[in-house]
Structure 1
Amino acid sequence: MSLNIILHEPEIPANTGNIGRTCVAIGATLHLIEPLGFVINDKNLARAGMDYWKQLDVRTYLDWEDFCAKNPDARIWMATTKGRHVYSDVSYGPDDYIMFGKESAGIPEEILIRQPERCIRIPMQGEIRSLNLSNSVAIVAYEALRQNHFDKMTTKGQLHRLHWAPEDM
């Protein structure tokens, strides 16, 4: 499985750093579509990404058209509050792309209207605008991974002490 996460014009370096760390943990490629609200060597980006950033497969694009030209066969799911489908109700392929918009405005509607059937939503109560971007990426990415049986991921841990008693707690 080679999941792809797209951030369209991300603005907050800490969010992108956290998302980069998640991408390393799940083996996903991170695609950043400019303009970015920060420079790649921003200290807040590095702090959030920790030492994982150097392990990240990250690709940058000048704009949406540049991304589309370089990834013509990408099957893209677009996470948006305007989505018609709940993120867990669609079927993700092992090499799909999941796109998220900038923190202040989301994915531009002119992109969304091209494929409304690919617009997905994370359900929320009331009038809340949206979840934090890095949380949204983790929620949707892990659903895609779950549907693909966490391919190539460690799914079982092991306690170091094989014999323990409840009184040890």
Structure 2
Amino acid sequence: MRIALFEPEIPGNVGAVLRLAACLGADVDLIEPLGFAWEDRRVRRAAMDYIDHVNFTRHADFAAFKAAIGSRRLVLFTTKSKRSSYAFEYAADDVLLFGKESAGVPASVADACQERVCIPMRPQVRSMNLATATALALGEALRQTASLPG
């Protein structure tokens, strides 16, 4: 299982996702440009020493990322979908894609995804934190594929 973050903007979110991936055994793809300098200490502060226990790759752009993942299924998490992420059937080699915090992904990226799902939320709210959404999504995908560590 892989997590992909499209042009993430908040270093603390990236750090939290790296820590989550280290704990649950997922790889992470960071699709640039990032909205912060990679050397930003807030990334390491959020990831703590877990950053040394996660496999992550930085990609120059979406095209480079797509080339790197090959034929793996790309599952986009978006508030624009009506398909529940809990009713979706995951595969162990899926790539779970999350858009940038302020704008999601452009239409060209959404069109490149094989699947689009949403995390069901109350209608009064717009979206949830990137790291929180990633944790919910990865937990469900790993549960379904019996890929949880331990």
Q: 1:40, CA displacement in angstroms?
A: 2.2
Residue in 1 aligned with 2:63?
65
Residue 140 of structure 2, aligned match among 132, 139, 143: 143
Unpaired segments ≥5 residues, structure 1: 155-169
The amino acid of 1:145's aligned partner reads: L
Deviations along 1:46-75, one digit per CA (max 9) or x if unpaired, are: 110011011110101111111112222121
Residue in 2 aligned with 1:121?
118
Q: 1:114, CA displacement in angstroms?
A: 4.1
Residue in 2 aligned with 1:53?
51
Residue in 1 aligned with 2:130?
133
Q: 1:128, CA displacement in angstroms?
A: 1.5
What is the CA–CA distance in structure 2 between the aligned matches of 1:15 and 1:114, rounded to whole Å?
A: 24
Deviations along 1:52-104, one digit per CA (max 9) or x if unpaired, are: 01111010111111111222212111000011310011111111100000000
Matches within 5 A, 1:15-164: 15-115=13-113, 118-151=115-148, 153-154=149-150
Aligned positions, number? 150
What is the CA–CA distance in structure 2 between the aligned matches of 1:23 and 1:114, rounded to whole Å?
A: 24
> Equivalent pairs: percent with the same residue?
37
Residue 3 of structure 2, aligned match among 5, 21, 33: 5
Unpaired segments ≥5 residues, structure 2: none
Query: Which moved further from structure 2: 32-41 or 129-138?
Result: 32-41
TM-score for the superposition, normalised by structure 1: 0.84
What is the CA–CA distance in structure 1 between the aligned matches of 2:39 and 2:49, rounded to whole Å?
A: 13
Structure possessing the higher radius of gyration over alpha carbons = 1
The amino acid of 2:73's aligned partner reads: R
TM-score for the superposition, normalised by structure 2: 0.95
The amino acid of 2:115's aligned partner reads: R
Question: Which runs of at least 4 in structure 1 moved beyond 3 Å after TM superposition?
Answer: none
CA-based RMSD: 1.3
Q: 1:126, CA displacement in angstroms?
A: 2.0
